[in-house]
Amino acid sequence: MEEFKTDWTHEELKAYMLLYCAFANFEISKEEKEYIKSRVGEKKYQKVRKEFEEDNDYQQIQKIYSTIERLNYSKEEIDEAFQSIKKLFLADGEMDILEKNLYRGLKHLLKNE
């Protein structure tokens, strides 16, 4: 089985997760893009965006999961990540059905709910 290890920092993981979530409905709105940049900065956004675009969906979720494990995220850090994800989804004014489904799926995977 292929390993999906990264050397990302907490900020790079945040940027990648937010990109993953913003792409839930197969497009990233201007508002979502600006929200991500406001959270991680232009430089990290551009670096992570390049890697994100080269990965398929399976690789993306495996990288997120393995990096959270490697960085040993606490319950509080995961909760904070989900607050950021929710704000991202609402950045363009609404949380559509694809975003809601992704949110639920990530919660199940990352929070073991």
pLDDT digits (tens, 9 = 90+) for 7-27: 999 999 999 999 999 999 888
Number of domains in the chain: 1
Contact in structure between 18 and 75 (CB atoms under 8 Å): no
Give whole-number Cα distances, 16 to 45, 78, 113, in Å: 8, 14, 22
Whether residue 5 is contained in a domain is answered as no
Residue 23 burial (C-beta neighbours within 10 Å; 0-12, 13-18, 19+) = middle
SS3 assignment, position 3: coil
pTM tops 0.85, yes or no:
yes
Name the amino acid, one letter, at 68.
Answer: I
Banded model confidence at residue 94, pLDDT cuts 50, 70, 90: confident
Whether residue 67 is contained in a domain is answered as yes
Give whole-number Cα distances, 4 to 20, 61, 93, 94, in Å: 16, 9, 34, 32
Domain range enclosing 70: 10-111
CA end-to-end span of the chain, whole Å?
A: 26
Looking at residue 1, what is its pLDDT?
45
Banded model confidence at residue 80, pLDDT cuts 50, 70, 90: very high
Whether residue 59 is contained in a domain is answered as yes
